[in-house]
Structure 1
Amino acid sequence: MEKPLLLIEDTPSLQMVYESVLRNAGYEVQTEETAAGGLDNFLKLKPNVVLLDLLLPDRDGLELMKDCLAANPTTRFIVITANGSINRAVEAMRAGAYEFLLKPFNEQRFLYAIENALAEAARKKTETAPSKNLDPINGFIGTSEAMKKVYSNTRTVAGSMATVFISGESGTGKEICAQAIHSLSDRASGPFIPLNCGAIPSDLLESEVFGHLRGSFTGAIADKPGAAAAADGGTLFLDEICEMDLNLQTKLLRFLQTSMINPVGSVRARKVNVRIVCATNRDPLEQVQRGEFRKDLYYRLHVVPIHLPPLRERAEDVIEIANDALHRFSKEENRAFETFSEEVKMLFRRMVWPGNVRQLLNVVRNVVVLNDAKIVTRSMLPVDIHHELELMNPTKAAPEQPGNPPVMLDGLIGKSLSEIEYLVIKETLEQHGGSIPKAARVLDVSPSTLYRKIATWEKIKT
């Protein structure tokens, strides 16, 4: 027999509403109006799902949830809070809540959250030793302390429905992390749909996310489902989320709140069952402060953050990754490589690796393709790596080159940040023949960011 749901809510009118909806849907429910009563009933019932109002008369609901989870970690908590208390809801998610509902919410959303929570609570999980939780997950290599934390957090969050916000520099493996979260979740049999928000023009991004109907705009020659519909029953990974246009951010927020999508040109919305995982190589809070990312969307997405450390902070992981890549690439290219010389290992450990794991893999691939031996020596490393090593350890002062004057700050002092940004981008474009993709690589931003900024400046001029 299914255990009853436990409802902890102190407002009598809301108790009646919730009980009516739940019983009409076939659920048995036990109700408590205080934290003390809720804890007593929790310890007796050991329910699979608890509906918890965070504002209780005798105790903070968040503290009550922590005590309950300490007694029975497998229970799924759905916290209920007023719209103005979203920060508390986010705090609850980070403390172990499965889902949160913002008042007011509709009956369908209410029952949908309970259905998912019950399914998750009922799913049989294989018990693993704590040390196993720190083992590398598929796609990652390395046993540094920084990565053990990533492995643990990834496994923990995979079992919930919480939105995950992955941050880290370019090349640290954010999509690999998102894929791992999907693969370790109960959605593993569903689709994993990645979408790079920074690689799609802003006027086409809405169609890419939510789809469109034939004839809804010029060039729409057929119906297109969109990434959200394609991810139904699985995971939607939104990479470079901070590059998303502000207008589309509003629609994404509405989608997160309702689970309803409305394709471009359609007058009918439909429901999809999608988990959102997003990523950025920027500081999302800084983007909020600059007005380039909606604050309410930030709090709705930034529920469980996972930060991927740069390669320079991963100690001996550099050699583990390089060795694994050397063996894989050698097999693919039919080469005889077995290991790296001690000198190369030392150099690899000392390098900063601005391109992180992606850069390291490219270096190893370059060596394997262009050489064949048993041991990788320094002379086999690409030219740009030699140049980087020279910059790290200059043997003598480099002479000043004509036409390349030293960088001076005098001309920047007194200018606003936006003016400095304009000058830096303008100079970088000039040095690369006006190529936006090349300038974007140098400045470590997406090309769409430069296109957008240039378009803004041109509008100001006109």
Structure 2
Amino acid sequence: MIGNSAADPILLIEDTPSLQMIYEAALKRAGFEVVTCGTAADGLAAFEAKRSSVVLLDLMLPDRAGLEVMHDMLARAPGTCIIVITANGSINKAVEMMRAGAHEFLVKPFDDQRLLAAVENARRAISHRPQSAGSHAAPAERPMPPFIGQSPEMQAVYDKIRSVARSMATVFITGESGTGKELCAEAVHKASARASGPFVALNCGAIPVDLLESEVFGHLRGSFTGAISDKIGAAAAADGGTLFLDEICEMDLNLQTKLLRFLQTSTIMPVGATKPRKVNVRIICATNRNPLEEVRLGRFREDLYYRLHVVPIHLPPLRDRGDDVNEIADALVVEMAKEEGHTFVGLSPRVRDLFRTLPWPGNVRQLINVLRNVVVLNEGPLVTPEMLPPDLLAERPAPGNKPVPPENHPLLGDLAGRTLAQIERLVIEDALARHGGSVPKAARELDVSASTIYRKLDAWAKAEAKARTKT
């Protein structure tokens, strides 16, 4: 430990005298002892003398960059919780410092409550560290529950989860559908100082746009038609814990603006309310899209992207995880067999070889569905190729067979020569036609959110209207 987290003073390094007075007064009113410095040199000298466990560090100092000061502090005392203070125009620099080891950052101007919440979060993080572990993460040789798998790709993910869990940094999880993004968010939460608080997950793509604001921020009775009682939103429900926003790129642009304000102020305004409410929440978000591409296309706010994309974690697809697929399958098939009252104990050697070669486009979610099908329809004791669904076996070309040329392929004949955008439209329109125009049913079949299809239909209609206008 770097000091007594309950007694050692807060070190404030801020070069503007008026702000020094404001921050120092707020901290002292809350009962903290404060040591205040106006330059990097004085701040480092005070740090050496006091070894404060919590440091409030201005990003722009007259004699040295805040990033360099932070590197020096963490080199001497790696467990220090450094809260970066930055102006709105320097958020990118603050994000860089978070990635380099800062605990949290505050954007000027902020009020006393936001300042004190940041300090309390840092104190809590320090008090929850194992005494024997110091500032070091747990050994990376073990999987991180609830994940299963020992591959190097996943070990890198575990290391990143353990590292980011110690801070308040916003985590942005990316990966294909079915790779376990919610499991990753839960793992970050459980490894953090907020583990005893609530973990609230919200799928932004599964909620109609007109109801999403209420689901996130809550509403008051009578604030809109159908609001028959007050509702606590996900942000308030996660107070003291973690809010996980899945499919964040599906969020409406207007709501993105309100989410950005929430991140900057830590306050929520329920629909119909006149006064904001303070909440203490850590944000983790996820998407199976390319968020930068969404920014480029104007569907995701650039300032929100940079505010959320502090620590990115990318989950590898199952096909890139080596023998993890068999380790996961072994655990799942035994668990499912107990639920069904069957006698499965594992996979046959032929199935193990097959699983290593399959592409698994649906990743772990697809593997779960395949094994559930096997366990329900068979007794055991080993999963054999004959038990597997026929469509799974069709995913791997037969040994010695040459791939069918696209122009002769029975499924691709009508698609050859078309652009990817044209193929996407054909597939969506075909799914809609087969489901009588039902967008939700087509979305379920295509494994996308209904809002994705609605957005594409709207874009196609606008493009066609624009083309008609030109002609």
Does residue 80 in structure 1 map to residue 88 in structure 2?
no
Correspondence for 2:439: 436
Q: Does 1:37 align with 2:42?
A: yes
Counterpart of 1:405 in structure 2 is 413
Alignment counterpart, residue 193 of structure 2, candidates 186, 192, 195: 186
* SS, match of residue 331 in structure 1: helix
After superposing the two structures, state which structure 1 stretch, 442-451 or 89-98, moved more. 442-451
Structure 2 CA distance for partners of 1:322 and 1:108, relative to 1, 3 Å: same
Moved more, 186-195 or 139-148: 186-195
Q: After superposition, where does 1:312-351 map in structure 2 within 5 Å?
A: 312-351=319-358
Show the counterpart of 1:448: 451
Aligned partners of 1:45 and 1:403: how far apart in 2?
A: 71
Q: One-letter code of the match for 2:32?
A: Y
Cα offset, 1:112, TM superposition? 2.1
C-alpha distance in structure 1 between counterparts of 2:464 and 2:64, whole Å: 58
Gap change, CA 1:420 and 1:314, over 3 Å in 2 = closer
Q: Which amino acid aligns with 1:257?
A: Q
Q: Is this contact kept in 1: 2:203–2:245, CA < 8 A?
A: yes
Alignment partner of 1:373 out of 380, 395, 412: 380
CA deviation string 1:333-385 (max 9, x = no partner): 12222232221111100001000011111111111111113222111111111
Matched residue, 1:54? 59
Contact 1:134/1:149 (8 A) holds in 2: no
- Work out which of the residue numbers 135, 141, 144 in structure 2 matches 1:137: 144
Q: 1:130 to 1:77 in 2, by over 3 A?
A: closer
CA distance in 1, matches of 2:442, 2:256: 27
After TM superposition, give the deviation of residue 232 of structure 1 in Å: 1.5
- Which of residues 281, 286, 296 in structure 2 aligns to 1:289? 296
1:119 equivalent in structure 2: 124
Between 389-398 and 239-248, report the one with greater CA deviation.
Answer: 389-398
Cα distance change on mapping 1:26 and 1:37 into 2, 3 Å: same
Measured at CA, do residues 80 and 368 of structure 1 come closer, stay the same or move farther in structure 2, by a change above 3 Å?
same
Q: Does 1:213 align with 2:216?
A: no
Instruction: With the length of structure 1 as denominator, give the TM-score of the two structures.
Output: 0.91
Asked if the contact 2:137–2:163 (Cα under 8 Å) also holds between the matched residues in 1, the reply is: no
Give 2:429's aligned residue. 426
Take 2:155 and 2:198, find their aligned partners in 1: how far apart are those partners?
A: 27
2: CA distance between counterparts of 1:393 and 1:279?
40
| TM-superposed deviation, 1:268 | 2.1
Question: Secondary structure at the residue paired with 2:194?
Answer: coil
| Structure 2 Cα separation of the partners of residues 336 and 213 of structure 1 | 53
Cross-structure match for 1:310: 317
How far the C-alpha of 1:12 sits from its partner, in A, is 2.9
Amino acid at match of 1:67: D
Deviation of 1:100 after TM superposition, in Å, equals 0.7
Distance 2:138 2:118 in 1: 32
Range that drifts further, 437-446 or 68-77? 437-446
Superposition deviation, residue 275 in structure 1: 1.4
Indicate conservation of the 8 Å contact 2:244/2:283, yes or no. yes
Choose from 12, 15, 19 the match for 2:24: 19
TM-aligned CA deviation for residue 134 of structure 1: 4.0
Q: Secondary structure at the match of 1:282?
A: coil
Q: Distance in 2 between matches of 1:69 and 1:255?
A: 29
Deviation at 1:33, TM superposition (A): 2.4
Q: Which whole-Å deviations, capped at 9, do the CAs of 1:131-160 have from their partners, x for residues lacking one?
A: 624421221100001111111111222222
Matched, 1:232 2:239: yes
What are the superposed Cα offsets for residues 430-458 of structure 1, whole Å, 9 maximum, x if unpaired?
46654534543565532221023324544
Shift of 1:394: 4.2
What SS does the corresponding residue of 1:237 show, helix, strand or coil? strand
Which residue does the alignment assign to 1:146? 153
Deviations 1:299-322 (A, max 9, x none): 111111111111011001011011
Alpha-carbon displacement from aligned partner over 1:150-172 (angstroms, at most 9, x marks no partner): 11111222222221111111111
Task: Give, in angstroms, the shift of residue 395 of structure 1.
Answer: 6.1
> 1:214 and 1:375, CA in 2 relative to 1: closer, same or farther beyond 3 A?
same
What residue in structure 1 maps to residue 3 of structure 2? none
User: Could you tell me which amino acid in structure 1 is paired with residue 348 of structure 2?
Assistant: S
- State the 1:429 CA deviation: 3.6
Deviations 1:264-307 (A, max 9, x none): 11212211121111111111111111111111111111111111
Q: Which residue, out of 94, 113, 121, partners 1:89? A: 94
How many equivalent pairs are there?
A: 457
Aligned partner of 1:381: which letter? L
Distance 1:25 1:376, change over 3 A: closer
Cα deviation, residue 123, structure 1 = 3.2
Q: Distance in 1 between matches of 2:280 and 2:228?
A: 27
Q: Which residue of 1 aligns with 2:72?
A: 67
Query: Which moves more between the two structures, 337-346 or 47-56?
Result: 337-346
Contact 2:125 2:192 in 1 (8 A): no
Superimposed CA distance per residue, residues 221-247 of structure 1 (whole angstroms, 9 cap, x where no aligned partner):
221111111112221111101100000
Counterpart amino acid of residue 405 in structure 1: G
Q: How big is each residue's C-alpha offset from its partner over 1:108-138, in whole Å with a ceiling of 9 and x where there is no partner?
A: 2122212222232233425347662442122
Amino acid at match of 1:88: K
> Cα gap change, 1:177/1:4 in structure 2, threshold over 3 Å: closer, same or farther?
same
The question of whether the paired residues in 2 share the 8 Å contact of 1:134 and 1:152 is answered with no
2:157·2:314 contact (CA, 8 Å) conserved in 1? yes
Map of 1:355 onto structure 2? 362
SS at match of 1:236: strand
